[in-house]
Amino acid sequence: MWVEILYMKKIMRCNKCEEYTMKQTCSCGEKTVIPRPAKYSPNDKYAKYRRIAKKDEMEDK
């Protein structure tokens, strides 16, 4: 299982052509990113500000 976790940290995704790779740049030349969101933490000190920003965004629509 630890091998799967090790490789999951290295899998990257290209936003331009939506291909997965283990390289920092895709074959199309675009920079790749990690395809998953940040980990959840119950001690998130910025959650309050994100909720306020989301509420303001919804009111603007």
Non-local (6+) Cβ contacts of 13 within 8 A are 19, 20, 21, 32, 33, 34, 35
End-to-end CA distance of the chain: 45
Alpha helices in the chain (DSSP H): 2-8, 47-60
Give the pLDDT mean for 43-49: 84
* DSSP summary character for residue 25: B
Could you tell me the domains of the chain?
2-60 (2.20.28.40)
| pLDDT at position 59 over 50 | yes
Give the pLDDT mean for 14-18: 90
Would the pTM of this model clear 0.75, i.e. be above it? no
